[in-house]
Structure 1
Amino acid sequence: MKAGSKFVSAVSALALSAGLVATGSIAVQFAAVASAEAAVVRSIEVRGNRRVDSGTIREYVGISPGQNFSPADINEAVKTLFGTGLFSDVRINQVGSTLVVEVDEYAIVNAVIFQGNKKVKDADLAAAVQLKPRSTYSQAALDADIEAVRQAYSRVGREDATVSGRIMDLGENRVNVVFEIVEGGRTKITGVTFVGNNAFSDGRLRDVISTKQSNLLSFLFRNDVYSDDRLRADEEALRRFYYNRGYADFRVISSSAELDEAQNQYTVTFTVEEGERYTFGDISIESTLDGVDAQSLNSQIETRSGSVYSADNVEDTIIALTEEVVGRGYAFAQVTPRGNRNFESRTIDVAYSIDQGPRTYIERIEIRGNDRTRDYVIRREFDVSEGDAFNQVMVQRAKRRLDRLDYFQTVNISTVPGSQPDQVYLIIDVVEKPTGEFSVGAGYSTKSESTGTGGVSLEGSVSERNFLGRGQYIKVSAGGGTNSRDYSLSFTEPYFLGRRIAAGFDIYRQTREYNDRYSSDTTGATIRLGLPITDSLTSQIAYNYSREEYELTGICLTDPTDPNCNIAPQILDAITQSPWVKSSVSWTLLYNTIDDPKNPREGLYSTFSVEYAGLGGDAEFVKLTGRGSYYHMLLEEQDVVGVVSVGAGHIVQTGGPLRLFDYFQNDSKMIRGFESSGIGPVAANGTDHLGGDTYISASAEAQFPLPAVPESLGIKGAVFADAATLFGNDLGGANATDMEWRASVGASLLWQSPFGPIRFDYAVPVVKEPTDQVQHFNFGVSTRF
């Protein structure tokens, strides 16, 4: 066959091998070449194109008139044209001295339409599919997008959603893509069971994992949605739980989820092997570094002989030893724990070996998956940066910090080789989660006969803990009841001036009406700086300013001496001297080792504050307050938690006499079973309590799951006993100023509701004074520490 002979190009096998054909056939053929001579054409003619310019297609073909070409060149041209994704069919033929390129263009998507969707928004579905307006349409893309929409519904717990796709031909090679969706019902998790667990009950383990059984409130919590990723995370949560409680041999044998398509519900089963429970045996440190004495590092050890084995304690020790040695100038120091099990005594000896690690540097830190969170918000949690020595312990510490931010569902940190043998890339993969919250809360307390305060109260707030992806916290709240109104705005920048210093401010306004006798209006602001000392210890300094205005109302406004007014002279004097201005500075020390802020079981939460008022204004005092709450697991298998709390406060005048409203007043944090401002020094009228300059409080509580109540509802019970005393008052005419103890006992319901933690308390005073005012029932936001 001569150069002028006809060449027909493209076999369907070639297109298929290139992965370019989804459906239909490609009418592209190759004619055999009888001659080894290369072909030459005088012109290239393009046919069938509507949108793609002919010149562009000729460039893709890569053959020029007058240029020698072979069947291999034709094959390559076909591959190139298919590779553009613009054409559903390509045919190349030689007709005389002309090379004819015929193409069928893919249709262009005019619009993507979703029909029948209510539970998943259009914007979320549009982000999941690859077909977009002005993109090219193909059946393969449509099929893939149908599956993507199904997966989007699976992620919100609707496994039986059905999705179909079709196109609407608009003419001129343009189409609309329509996804028709039947959402179906929510796919429930009817049961979460465990096999092989003896040390802990199913209920206790269900509280550890994030996959929850469906219940009446699941539509609010959304924690009964099954996913493979959540199941893998639950496996790791179970491992950490057991490893931190002495079960070093624990393993998850299997985890499975069976879908009953007829009932549209899952049954999740974890099969585990607990093994024996170990305690720490001998603890030692070995060092091969010159100038590092192993004995001098004993104070950094967090593991103690005889204590229950805990993986967290081992990790804490590794971090503490590494930081200490690195601080001494050994940048590449590596701490490796070696465990030696004694199966007879059920102990694990741990030796921490300190060696010189490989000299490896961080060439680059790459962050992936943070569509909203700024890169610098993640980078600042690392104590290392590009060019620094690589240390795995420092990297793990940064991971723990990122986890504590609560901005991400998952955080994974890995390394890949860098451009040089002694360099690595640090890869940080994150999956973001919603960080905004809208909450509505309610409270109730018995209405006080003396003050008129109490009754039902409502509160709503909007907060964002990763504002604009900058890691800033902002909260706006408003609330009130029959006789009160509260408004506040808070803002916190956790890294002020690029340093690990939290700076923020609070602005608030409060109004109160007291039994139609008088009212108060307080406006204030606080500017604060917080400095972390350790991961558990934080210090904060703040400047506080407030302005309080008091006014007589009702019968007291008309005639304060009227017997129906019955207002104490001390209160009347304070009201007539308002407005009061307080200008103060305060310093607070916070120690927090709580394991879970939402549902604590172990740890200590304590605060100590000193406030000095006298920087201008009317108040002149020094106020000291402190409170500590210790949580400890009493019965691990039954999930019974003990809580012991103590608190105290004392105020000392530094200039003029204390104002009435500077004194301490009791509330439900101090003691339950009594009205707010219902104990302590009292006015001569026997009704108005004036507060005291000193208080001491203590509380003991046991929290436990309620029988027959699903753990996924987040409801627990508690019994408690409180004791407190409030005494000391230098205001003239105050009675009952001596130290007298009050005590109460009661029961509570604790609910981790979708609107925040809620607490219901019923208390009965068992020790009280004749002038005390009793309040049995109270419920509101749970803030016991």
Structure 2
Amino acid sequence: MSLFLSLGAASEAQQFRFNQVLIEGNQRVEAATILTFAGITRGEALSAGELNDAAQRIRASGLFESVDIVPQGGTLVIRVVEFPTINRIAFEGNSRLSDEDLGSLVESQSRRVYSPSQAEQDTAIITEAYAQQGRISATVTPRIIRRSDNRVDLVFEIFEGGLTEIERISFVGNTEYSDRRLRRVLETKQAGLFRQVIGRDTFVADRIEFDRQVLTDFYRSRGYVDFQVQNVDAALTRERDAFLITFNVQEGQQFRFGRIGVSSDLQEIDADAYSDAIRLRPGVVFNPALLEAEISRLEVLALRQGLNFVRVEPRITRNDRALELDVDFVLSRGERVFVERIDIEGNTTTLDRVIRQQFRVVEGDPFNPREIRAASERIRALGFFADTSVETREGSSPDQVVVDVDVEEQPTGSLGFGASFSTDSGVGFAANFRERNFLGRGQLLAFDISTAESSQALSLDFAEPAFLGRDLRFGLDLGYRTTDNENALYDTQSLTFSPSLTFPVSENGRLTVRYRLQAQDLLDVQGERTSDPDDRASLLIFEEAEDGLLVSSALGYSYSYDSRRSGFNPTGGVVLRFGQDFAGLGGDQTFIRTSFLAAAERQIFGEDVTLRATLEGGALTFSDGESRVTDRFFLGSRVMRGFEGGGIGPRDAETEDALGGNLFTVLRLETEFPLGLPEEYGISGGAFIDYGSVWDVGREVDGVDILYNDFTPRGVAGLALFWTTPIGPLRFNFTNAFLKEEEDRDRSFDITIQTRF
């Protein structure tokens, strides 16, 4: 294809004028387009340098492999060689990343013009994708294979290389916390036994940057306000197959809160009234989360008093001699800015209202930056989104703000098949379906079925976390369970229906009210009343079985307090639970079932050692009728270690059947500590003492002698081995019952494992 254009006279002394231009070699690109790229205008005198610039402009279009501009008398010849068209894109040598994965990364596309610069960019993108998987030695080479009609195949030849693992993570400058404790904070892990499964022991630069931040947050939440990560050194080993990571840190001194006060710049606010609302006390280790909680509490108090746009600013004064931070919460008038609207984008499955429910403000409310940040954290905590961004911008006027919420959906459902083993129930298998964002409504729907050697269970759970658009959780539990006489001389069946409502009553407290309808049957009791005691069940169980199917209808409540929820004390926490069910609203039974649990945990010695104490108990009181073996408490190894399920408590002296009790209480004391092994193995040790009992059958039968019907304490001491594996947590208990009765059935060893795959 060629083009002749008249442009003027001939050249004069390094100045060129052409009466025509001839363009050669172009097939897809129009000649006029090439001339436009060149920027040559009619009658213009051109120097040699300007001709070179014209050639460079044509090359810059990215459409040509070569461009030559040759003056030939009064004719300017522009010769071009066009880049070929990409026939197809292929990947060779890849196995860790599929062709589909790589194809979604590259910008080069078939049936488009091949661009070497774009191919190089694609090469860098593929190399980075492998680096994110810890394969920093991966190499990618783009090749082209010439085809007919000026077409090429673009082939990326890939050498994936091996994983570059992290051989060691160490710290320099730390004195308060050991390397072992700090390594537990990091997302990056050292290579260990299960490195092929864990996947966090490969070197990823972005993960190291994240670790810098979490390490800073760890120290500052413990009062080290001057903590800094000075630098992170990542060095390759001599063999260049592993990294040695060193964090150079400066801890500084630990600070505590000093004087706490409230002052006001506003006449309508009485600072003393706000001082009474402060819960923070001097002497507490400094924690930024505690500051945020107090600021939020004071701002909420101002809103309750009808005062909008009140802002709380903490003014902190250092006392380096006493290592204290004095805090003055200053109440002032903020800008009069309102929320114009909340725009939500990116949610393809989740309904807008699910995201809006995480905001405590709506359109038209006063704008509070702290509340917007808190809403952003609540959206992330939902677990529905892979990425969440909450930003603000000016609205239609300076006193209006638009809140932009951009989310990226991620899968929220799972289908699992699993196996479990415990020395109480033996080997079991399970299947479950769980959807945390059912139909995009933020609802939970779960279905579980499990079977073990001596029991089978089926359950269906549903929960609406924002019932009626409020902070009110509605739950519905349906369950069916059977046990056979593998471990007992009778079978049981139970069917349960239980709706509930849960709502907050304090910062860390929750109250649940519920209704529970349960039908239970005791059947297939083995043996005759007159047969050999070794082959038949207790006469008491025979009598209880004669009651047949019994239905209980109960209203109940439970209160829970969990200081771990707020995370204000990163080295410990307290959990309290108390609940009661009142049966007698119809049905066949009238009773009160009471349960309680109080637990505390504390980390000491640089948080390397964990101490736990738990007191748990229950009481079953019948006002009409008597309890049955299906109602009473049995203590399995979860409640009291060192004994078989039903191994302690009231027992028929003749048949040795465990009968359970209407009362129980157990105190568990435990410590967990490192064993000196590399922490990437996930192995730690423990020691424990359990002390408690279950007693009071609550009924008598002629001819039945019940052993241990009164409080008869038992005591167990033991050592534990904890092993965290990718297939689930394993716990090995080695126990010695130092306080037991003759007919008790103790156990010196048990192992528990549960996994889903």
Pair in the same fold by TM > 0.5: yes
State the SS of the aligned residue for 2:603.
strand
Deviation by residue 1:219-276 (Cα, 9 ceiling, x = unmatched): 2222223333322222222222222222122222122323448432222221111111
State the SS of the aligned residue for 1:662.
coil
- The answer as to 2:657 corresponding to 1:688 is yes
Greater shift, 191-200 or 402-411, is seen at 402-411
2-structure distance, mates of 1:560, 1:259: 79
C-alpha distance 267-525 of structure 1, shift in aligned 2 (>3 A): farther
TM-score, normalised to structure 2's length?
0.84
C-alpha distance 79-162 of structure 1, shift in aligned 2 (>3 A): closer
- The answer as to 2:549 corresponding to 1:586 is no
Q: 161, 173, 177: which is aligned to 1:184? A: 161
Q: Which residue does 1:395 correspond to in 2?
A: 372
Cα distance, 1:195 vs. partner? 1.0
Q: Which residue does 1:750 correspond to in 2?
A: 722
1-structure distance, mates of 2:34, 2:625: 91
Q: Which residue does 2:336 correspond to in 1?
A: 359
- The answer as to 2:689 corresponding to 1:721 is yes
Counterpart AA for 1:739: F
State the SS of the aligned residue for 2:604.
strand
Q: Which residue does 2:102 correspond to in 1?
A: 125
Q: Which residue does 1:613 correspond to in 2?
A: 583
1-structure distance, mates of 2:418, 2:607: 32
C-alpha distance 642-535 of structure 1, shift in aligned 2 (>3 A): same
Q: Which residue does 2:305 correspond to in 1?
A: 328
1:239-638 to structure 2, matched below 5 A, reads 239-260=216-237, 262-365=239-342, 376-407=353-384, 413-427=390-404, 440-445=418-423, 454-459=425-430, 461=432, 463-466=434-437, 471-515=442-486, 517-552=489-524, 556=526, 561-594=531-564, 601-635=571-605, 637=606
1:62-81 to structure 2, matched below 5 A, reads none
Contact 1:570 1:660 in 2 (8 A): no
Counterpart AA for 1:383: R
C-alpha distance 463-535 of structure 1, shift in aligned 2 (>3 A): farther
Contact 1:164 1:180 in 2 (8 A): yes
Cα distance, 1:659 vs. partner? 3.0
Q: Which residue does 2:635 correspond to in 1?
A: 666
2-structure distance, mates of 1:625, 1:773: 25
Cα distance, 1:296 vs. partner? 1.6
State the SS of the aligned residue for 2:214.
helix
Q: Which residue does 1:151 correspond to in 2?
A: 128
Counterpart AA for 1:621: F
C-alpha distance 359-768 of structure 1, shift in aligned 2 (>3 A): same
State the SS of the aligned residue for 1:316.
helix
Cα distance, 1:640 vs. partner? 1.1
TM-score, normalised to structure 1's length?
0.81
2-structure distance, mates of 1:684, 1:500: 53
Contact 2:7 2:43 in 1 (8 A): no
Cα distance, 1:190 vs. partner? 1.0
Q: 605, 609, 613: which is aligned to 1:644? A: 613
What RMSD in Å do the two structures reach over aligned CA positions?
4.3
C-alpha distance 602-440 of structure 1, shift in aligned 2 (>3 A): farther
State the SS of the aligned residue for 2:484.
strand
Q: Which residue does 1:209 correspond to in 2?
A: 186
Deviation by residue 1:171-199 (Cα, 9 ceiling, x = unmatched): 55665543333322221011111111111
1-structure distance, mates of 2:237, 2:200: 19
Cα distance, 1:725 vs. partner? 2.3
1-structure distance, mates of 2:579, 2:396: 53
Cα distance, 1:752 vs. partner? 3.5
C-alpha distance 182-606 of structure 1, shift in aligned 2 (>3 A): farther
C-alpha distance 541-105 of structure 1, shift in aligned 2 (>3 A): farther
Contact 2:459 2:478 in 1 (8 A): yes
Deviation by residue 1:282-333 (Cα, 9 ceiling, x = unmatched): 1101112233222222343242112222222122111211222233223211
2-structure distance, mates of 1:600, 1:572: 53
Cα distance, 1:625 vs. partner? 0.9
Contact 2:171 2:179 in 1 (8 A): yes
2-structure distance, mates of 1:144, 1:228: 20
Q: Which residue does 2:74 correspond to in 1?
A: none
Greater shift, 678-687 or 426-435, is seen at 426-435
2-structure distance, mates of 1:584, 1:493: 22
1-structure distance, mates of 2:407, 2:203: 20
Cα distance, 1:504 vs. partner? 3.6
1-structure distance, mates of 2:417, 2:296: 38
2-structure distance, mates of 1:169, 1:501: 67
Greater shift, 164-173 or 503-512, is seen at 164-173
1:219-258 to structure 2, matched below 5 A, reads 219-258=196-235
Cα distance, 1:518 vs. partner? 3.0
C-alpha distance 265-473 of structure 1, shift in aligned 2 (>3 A): farther
Contact 1:568 1:684 in 2 (8 A): no
2-structure distance, mates of 1:193, 1:204: 11
Structure 1: where are the runs of 5+ without partners?
Answer: 9-30, 94-99, 447-453
Contact 1:610 1:623 in 2 (8 A): yes
1-structure distance, mates of 2:8, 2:535: 111
What is the percentage of aligned positions where both structures have the same residue?
32
2-structure distance, mates of 1:719, 1:132: 62
Cα distance, 1:540 vs. partner? 2.5
Cα distance, 1:471 vs. partner? 3.9
Counterpart AA for 1:696: T
Counterpart AA for 2:739: V
Contact 1:335 1:353 in 2 (8 A): yes
Structure 2: where are the runs of 5+ without partners?
Answer: 10-14, 46-50, 71-76
- The answer as to 2:640 corresponding to 1:676 is no
Counterpart AA for 1:623: R
Contact 2:639 2:666 in 1 (8 A): yes
State the SS of the aligned residue for 1:594.
helix
C-alpha distance 92-739 of structure 1, shift in aligned 2 (>3 A): same
- State how many pairs are aligned: 731
Contact 2:422 2:753 in 1 (8 A): no
Contact 1:318 1:393 in 2 (8 A): no
Cα distance, 1:612 vs. partner? 2.9
